[in-house]
């Protein structure tokens, strides 16, 4: 492991150096997970425009600005940012010098582009035998689709998840949440990257992790219940819309300030819900102890429940049914979550200072360690913010050399 660590880095991964050559979501989020726990992360962006996420937003007041993207702000905390044109001979040489001090390289570029740059694992592996290279792409490094131009959307639908989820039976599927395969793929990549990193002595050195985001979602969302089942007997689950067709209550109902997901299928849960509603007479029928009988009478039950839910806020309902052992939940909006006391008290939402955005809440670490360490400490870097510290001081370039590279568009 590299002994070099960035300023103020503390945590379980202190002393590990990560170089990120990524764009958008998957590689930046994967690298951010390492930074959350103290690894030094050096983010390499192309000169001029930088990471494409800088142009995706959202932006304050909807005014685009490459240093004010909310997506970039969240994905790139605790990184040092440099600019390098790795497609140029001089830029590639500087990048290789960075890799000489690195433990991990995280990238999400098309495999053909990495080969074109001479930065594919077949080239890098012999040069840096202890390097763990994490390559995250929609379809992987091999196969007929490996060199396709693809994004999160393509990866998601290669899994069959679009047919299984989001929409009513017999109707066209609905659009799924953005970047789901990128985020899932990044988590899987980070986890196995750590295994490869700490297993280098056992495995005989570093290796490349070929992470296809489509396959991570196929395994997590769909595979266990559908792909294998279809292979065995030709059957698979289809989207079912909101709720359940055979049992109730299992649906979304309106309330005073939004919506609640009402779920109480087991007999004990149903009785708890009835008690939370004040034991209305209509719910006392003994036959309603059977969730399938409730399913046959779902229209009646939902109409009666709606008369109750509409009088309370979603948090009031959630707090009330929780006391009676019912797993129903408020349907939180992003605004709700941003102000939720629970997340702030746990330190998941924490304030970060950015030179242009000011003081904003960032996301903490998704996993808490025993000592509580982890999570964002510094805001995302400005484009090329650490060129001097990383390239001049870290690699030993002179000020004149760095200036010449800048004039040539290499940095």
Residue 165 in contact with residue 226, Cβ under 8 Å? no
Query: Residue 123 to residues 96, 126, 145: CA-CA distances in angstroms?
Result: 11, 6, 22
For the chain, give every domain's residue range. 17-221+347-407, 250-333
Residues 284, 287: Cα–Cα separation, whole Å: 9
pTM beyond 0.95: no
Under CATH, which number does the domain 17-221+347-407 receive?
3.40.50.10540
Q: What pLDDT does 402 receive?
A: 95
pLDDT tens, the chain, 411 aa long: 443 344 445 789 999 999 999 999 999 999 999 999 999 999 999 999 999 999 998 999 999 999 999 999 999 999 999 999 999 999 999 999 999 999 999 999 999 999 999 999 999 999 999 999 999 999 999 999 999 989 898 888 888 877 777 788 888 887 777 898 999 999 999 999 999 999 999 989 999 999 999 999 887 766 555 666 677 777 767 777 777 778 899 999 999 999 999 999 999 999 999 999 999 999 999 999 999 999 999 999 999 999 999 999 999 999 999 999 999 999 999 889 888 888 888 888 888 999 999 998 888 888 888 776 788 889 999 999 999 999 999 999 999 999 999 999 999
Cβ-based neighbour number of residue 39 at 10 Å: 29
Looking at domain 250-333, its CATH architecture is 2-Layer Sandwich (3.30)
pLDDT tens digits along 323-334: 999 999 999 998
Q: Are strands 258-263 and 79-83 parallel, antiparallel or unpaired?
A: unpaired
Q: What pLDDT does 268 receive?
A: 94
Chain CA centroid to CA 83, Å: 24
Chain CA centroid to CA 101, Å: 27
Q: What pLDDT does 226 receive?
A: 66
DSSP reduced 3-state for 354: strand
Residues 41, 34: Cα–Cα separation, whole Å: 8
Q: What pLDDT does 68 receive?
A: 95
Residues 315, 257: Cα–Cα separation, whole Å: 9
Nearest CA to 385 among 85, 98, 50, 82?
82
Q: What pLDDT does 339 receive?
A: 85
Q: What pLDDT does 376 receive?
A: 85
Beta-carbon contacts of 401 under 8 Å, excluding residues fewer than 6 positions away, are 392
Phi, psi of 145 (to 5 degrees): -100, 0
Q: What pLDDT does 8 receive?
A: 43
């Amino acid at each position: 492991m590299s002994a070099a660590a960035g300023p103020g880095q503390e945590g379980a991964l202190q002393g590990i150096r990560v170089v990120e050559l990524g764009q958008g979501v998957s590689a930046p989020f994967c690298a951010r997970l390492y930074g959350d726990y103290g690894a030094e992360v050096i983010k390499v962006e192309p000169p001029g425009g930088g990471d494409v996420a800088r142009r995706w937003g959202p932006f304050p007041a909807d005014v685009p600005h490459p240093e004010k993207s909310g997506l970039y702000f969240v994905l790139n905390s605790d990184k040092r940012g440099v600019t390098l044109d790795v497609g140029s001979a001089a830029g590639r040489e500087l990048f290789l010098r960075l890799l000489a001090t690195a433990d991990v390289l995280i990238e999400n570029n098309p495999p053909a582009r990495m080969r074109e740059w001479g930065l594919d694992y077949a080239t890098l592996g012999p040069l840096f035998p202890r390097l763990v290279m994490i390559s995250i792409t929609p379809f992987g490094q091999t196969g007929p689709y490996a060199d396709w131009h693809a994004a999160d959307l393509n990866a998601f639908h290669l899994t069959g998840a679009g047919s299984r989820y989001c929409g009513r039976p017999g109707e066209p599927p609905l659009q799924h949440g953005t970047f789901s395969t990128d985020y899932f793929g990044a988590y899987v990549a980070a986890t196995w990257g750590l295994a490869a990193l700490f297993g280098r002595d056992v495995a005989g050195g570093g290796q490349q992790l070929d992470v296809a985001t489509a396959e991570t979602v196929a395994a997590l969302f769909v595979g266990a219940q559908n792909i294998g089942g279809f292979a065995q007997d030709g059957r698979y689950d289809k989207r079912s819309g909101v709720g359940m067709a055979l049992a109730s209550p299992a649906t979304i109902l309106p309330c005073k300030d939004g919506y609640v997901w009402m779920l109480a299928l087991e007999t004990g849960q149903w009785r708890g819900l009835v008690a939370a509603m004040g034991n209305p007479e209509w719910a006392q029928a003994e036959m309603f102890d059977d969730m399938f009988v409730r399913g046959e009478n779902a229209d009646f039950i939902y109409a009666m429940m709606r008369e109750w839910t509409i009088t309370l806020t979603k948090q009031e309902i959630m707090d009330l049914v929780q006391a009676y052992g019912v797993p129903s939940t408020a349907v939180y909006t992003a605004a709700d979550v941003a102000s939720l006391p629970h997340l702030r008290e746990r330190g998941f939402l924490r304030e970060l200072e950015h030179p242009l955005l000011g003081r904003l809440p960032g996301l903490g670490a998704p996993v808490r360690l025993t000592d509580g360490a982890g999570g964002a400490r510094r805001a995302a870097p400005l484009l090329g913010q650490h060129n001097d510290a990383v390239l001049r001081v870290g690699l030993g370039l002179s000020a004149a050399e760095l200036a010449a590279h800048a004039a040539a568009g290499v940095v």
